Structures are given as structure tokens and as C-alpha cells.
Chain A
Amino acid sequence: MDALILLGSLFLLIAIGVPVAYALGLAALVGAIWIDIPLEAVMLKISDGVDNFSLLAIPFFVLAGAIMAEGGMARRLVALANVMVGFIRGGLSLVNILASTFFGCISGSSVADTASIGSVMIPQMEKAGYPRVFATNVTITGSVQAILIPPSHNAVIYSLAAGGTVSIAHLFLAGVIPGLLLGLSLMTLCLAIAQREGYPKGKPVPLREAGKIAIEAFWGLLTMFIILGGILSGVFTATESASIACVYAFLVTMFIYRDYKWRDLPYLVHRTVKTVAMVMILIGFASGFGYIMALMQLPFKVTEFFLSISDNKYVILLLINLMLLALGTLMDLAPLLLICTPILLPVVVKFGVDPVHFGMIMLVNLGIGLITPPVGSVLFVGCAVAKVSIEQVTKTIWPFYLAMLIVLMLVTYVPAISLWIPSLVTF
């Protein structure tokens, strides 16, 4: 009955359109009243939810990514990707995906990736003879790499949702192969489609020009090495490296690239405030919700429920994947990470799944949710950037979904894909 009250009120509030963050807060209140917990305790937990030093990495990663993306980085990454794969048949679709791989190294946001890379690549691809809908499909599916390739602020959110017991550094390292695997799968698909449809080849870039492009892009890509290098060497914490990345991104954008106007900076901060504050308040209210959930012993009950269905780890992982895919069609990534991680992590740990591995499963799975209708923020942004309808995209995107589902199954059932790189590093 406790679970019905808590989860029932949450889903009811979400269904009528209450912002997810506030629905979590209200459901926590309903739950607290139901089990007779003082409301001050809920208030305290909500505040404690954002009273965490590790959490500061999230706004910094978003800010550094926004500075880089708006400061001309997207254009330079596209140019670098063009040097590397543009000359192949269907080259511009590969350029689009590789640019997203690079973009993932500076920003963990698929939405920012779609907006930045899409606005450069979609018109360019259409001009070269690619159908606009195909260009949109490539852009939105490729952008999902951003949430896997380090630094990913969503990995930080997962770490926090897991109670801070999962190392952010391990999660960053774990995301490398799944991210690259996703990129390679999409590129293979694009190559096959390009051969079948006879999409054009690009021209090789002269060596001298290629060198110049590589140097220009190098400054941006160095961000990832500052972040990972700092964390892995033990010099910085994740939060410190993220703040240093902000300062570095600012210096590169304003003094090396000099594409961004000083007078536009307040607008950039305004947009970043809106993007980050909604995630932070979500974390705060999710903390209050998680507290009530723990008092009701909900994770324990959910574990028992799954155990009653099957004692086979692979069956349970399949069921969890199906459930997350269904939820992902309705809700965004961050709220689902915050709601589902505390419930599902104890279940999978009971079945012997490594929490870092499960983090990757969740990120790939919920990443697919970002581009599936009816609710997919990346799908919406991609369609808006390309000026195509959601119906046009959903009619043609199926091969891309299939490629992503294959990657999801590989990440789910081959733990080494996620765990091999972290196993090489000791902290």
C-alpha cells in the first residue's frame, strides 16, 4: 500500500503535467504524511540533496560544454571529422557521427550536440544531396554518444542517484567503449545506407589545411584530457577538474578562437542557469523522494518482486531494459536516472551486476529514450533544427533504432565493454 501511495501519487502528478521535479517533491510529502514522518525531515532531505560537493561537477560540465559549443567549437569539430572521414562514400553522414563523438569529449549533453552539430551538418548534408530526414536521423542518433563519452554530467547524476557509492572516474572510463561502439555501429549503418542509395563522396582535404584544422580543434579536445587526466592522476577531484575545464573553455573561446562576443556572455549564462537549475532542483526533490522510498523499504520490496519473477540475471536485465525503454518513451533521462536508480540498483546488485556496468546500461537505454516518440527531447530539438516533422523521422529511423538496440544488448550482456577500461585503473 505504501508503494501504491508514493508511486501512484508521483505518476498521477506527472501525468497531469506537474513538472517532474515538483511531482517528486509533492509525492514525497504525500508519502511522508501517509507514514507519519515530520515534514521538516523531508525539507531537510531536499536541501541536503543539493548540499553535496560532487554535485557541483554537473553545472561546471554543462557550462564548459555550453561555452565550447557556442564559442565555435562545433564548426571546428565538424571540420576535423571531415578531414578524417569526409572522403568516403556517404562521408558527410560519417562526419556528422564522428563530430558528435568529438563533441561528446567536451559536452555531455545530447540536446546541445543536436542543436550545435545539427545546425552545421543538416543543411550541409542536404546541399550535398542527402535527404534531410536521413540527415536528421544521423544527427539525433549520433548525439546519444555525448551522454556516454566522458565527461558526462549524466554519469555524475547516476553516481549521485546511486548514493555516491559509484566512482565518477570509473563511470567516465566505463563510458568510453560503449560510446565508441555506438558511434561505430551508426557509422557502419550509414556506410551501408550510403552504398545502397549512392550518396556522394567528399573530397580529401589537402594535408596542409588538414594540419591547420587539427590544431584548431586540438584546443577544444584538450578539455577532455584535462578532465580525465586530472581525475585519473589524482590531482583533481571530478568537481575540481570540471571547474578548471570551465575556466579553460572560457580562455580558449574568448582568447584563442575569439568567435564569441563578450556582450553575448550574459545570455549564455542565462541559458546555462535554466538548463542546470532544473536538473539541480530535480536532484533536491528526488533526494526527499528517495528518503521516503527508503523508509518505506521500497527498493527491498522491488528486489523481492523481481526475485519472484526469475532468478536468472539475464532475464532480469532484459525485463529492466524493456521497462526502462518503455519509460524512456515518456520521460526525460535525468528524472528517470534519479527515480529508477535507487529502486533498480539494489535489484541488479543482488544479481551480481556491477553498479558501474549498470550505469552504462541505464545511460545507453535512456539515451535511446531521448530520441523515441512521443516524448524525446533530442528528437524534438533535431526536428526543430532540421524543420522536419516527427512523423517523417519516425517513419525512417527504424534501422538506427535497431543499431542502438544491438549496442544496448551488447552493453547489457557483455560487461567487459563497460568494465574493461576501469579495471585497468586503480585509485
Chain B
Amino acid sequence: MKAAYVRAMDALYLICVALAGVSLILMALIIPWGVFTRYVLNSGSSWPEPLSILLMILFTFAGAAACYRARAHIAVTLFANLATAPVRTGFALLVEVAMAALSLFMVIWGTELVGVTWNQVIAEFPFLSVGVTYLPLPIGGAITLLFIVERAWIGPPSRDSIVFREPASAD
């Protein structure tokens, strides 16, 4: 059961990184395209900028969930490191509770925001709801919650996990 959950979280982690990575690459390509159409084709496209912003939101919340599993977020561990082992364990528990509380807030109030804005449309993309813009918030929160459950139930990903994998050519 635990192994299956870890495999599922590995898959979810890969999906998050892939979504964020593809968003990043697309953003890096469509903005130069906007410059190209403005200066070379003499008819600037209006879609690269709003589309990049949509991708940026997706990148941020999918990437942030992946960062939690990879322990990449900046944290001050000085005081925890100075504390005795039982206090350190207590701190670690409190950190996970705090993270879970904020992720839950993102799920609940993010969903509320998506609901409220679902019937409005984005000016540049009339076929897209404004709610889509806010969708990465509750989804990112829900994925972070699943990663928190993994950490609390099974523990952090091992060093040979997909999270820390580097190319064979790296030092």
C-alpha cells in the first residue's frame, strides 16, 4: 500500500514538473514570437502576453507543489537544529500542520474563487473562463496536501527517488 502511494506520488511529481517545465519552455518561445510578429511581420500578436501570464500561474503552483516534495523551498532550520530531538520532532510536526492548513486554504478558497469567476471570460481568449486562471491554486494546494500525507505517513522521498535524479554525466 505504501509503495503504491509512493509510486503514485512519483507520478504526480513528474506531472507537476512536466507541466511547469513545458510552461516555462512555451513562455520562453511565445514571447520572442510576439517580438518577431511586432518587428518583422509588422502586426503584433496580442495573445503571447496573456497566454504567458496564464502559463506563469500554472508554472508557479504546479512547480511550488513539486518544490515541497523536493524540499526545495527556502526555510530557516537554524532554531530547529539547535533544539533537542523531541522539540525538533515537535517543530517538524508543526511545520507539516501549518503547510497542510495553508494547502487546505488554497483548496477551499481557491475553489470558491474559481466558482465565482467561472462565468466570466478572458478578453483575449473569449472561449476561456476567468476561472481557469485561478484553477492552478486549488489544484496546486490539493497536490501539496497529497505530498504532505506522503511525508507524514511514509516519510520524505529517498535519495534515489526521481526527485533527486541527475544525469549520469553529472559530477
Chain A residues at the B interface, C-beta cutoff of 8 Å: 13-23, 25-26, 29, 39-40, 42-44, 46-47, 50-53, 55-56, 59-60, 63, 119, 235-236, 239-240, 243-244, 246-247, 261, 263-264, 266-267, 269-270, 272-278, 280-282, 284, 330-332, 334-335, 374-375
Number of A-B contacts (CB under 8 A): 187
Interface contact B113-A264, CB-CB below 8 Å: no
**Which of B24, B80, B91, B133 has the most CB atoms of chain A within a 10 A radius of its CB?**
B24
Interface contact B67-A274, CB-CB below 8 Å: yes
Q: A29-B105, A281-B67, A282-B74 are in contact. List 20 more A-B contacts (CB 8 A).
A: A13-B98, A18-B94, A20-B76, A21-B73, A43-B109, A47-B113, A51-B57, A55-B56, A263-B167, A267-B170, A269-B21, A273-B17, A273-B59, A276-B24, A276-B63, A277-B62, A278-B72, A280-B59, A330-B76, A334-B74
Q: Which 6 pairs of residues, A with B, have the shortest CB-CB distance? A: A277-B63, A19-B73, A281-B64, A243-B31, A280-B60, A269-B21
Interface contact A261-B64, CB-CB below 8 Å: no
Interface contact B66-A53, CB-CB below 8 Å: no
Chain B contacts for A17, CB-based, 8 A: 75-77, 79-80, 91-92, 95
Chain A contacts for B68, CB-based, 8 A: 19
**Which of A17, A25, A51, A375 has the most CB atoms of chain B within a 10 A radius of its CB?**
A17
Interface contact B35-A240, CB-CB below 8 Å: yes
Interface contact A18-B61, CB-CB below 8 Å: no
Q: How far is the CA of A175 from the CA of B99 in the complex (A)?
A: 37
Chain B contacts for A23, CB-based, 8 A: 98
Chain A contacts for B80, CB-based, 8 A: 16-17
Contact partner of A335 among B70, B74, B79, B98, CB < 8 A? Answer: B74
Chain B nearest CB from A240 CB (Å) reads 5
Chief secondary structure at chain A's binding surface: helix
Interface contact A269-B24, CB-CB below 8 Å: yes
Q: How far is the CA of A240 from the CA of B60 in the complex (A)?
A: 19
- The yes or no answer to B101 lying at the interface (CB within 8 A) is yes
- The yes or no answer to B25 lying at the interface (CB within 8 A) is yes
Contact partner of A53 among B52, B59, B67, CB < 8 A? Answer: B52
A239-B78 contact given A16-B94, A269-B21, A277-B63, CB 8 Å threshold:
no
Contact partner of A43 among B20, B32, B75, B113, CB < 8 A? Answer: B113
Interface contact A274-B92, CB-CB below 8 Å: no
Interface contact B74-A332, CB-CB below 8 Å: yes
Chain B contacts for A43, CB-based, 8 A: 105-106, 109-110, 112-113, 137
Residues of chain B from 26 to 56 with CB closer than 8 A to chain A in the complex: 27-29, 31-32, 34-35, 39, 49, 52-53, 56
Chain B contacts for A264, CB-based, 8 A: 167, 169-170
- The yes or no answer to B121 lying at the interface (CB within 8 A) is no
Interface contact B70-A274, CB-CB below 8 Å: yes
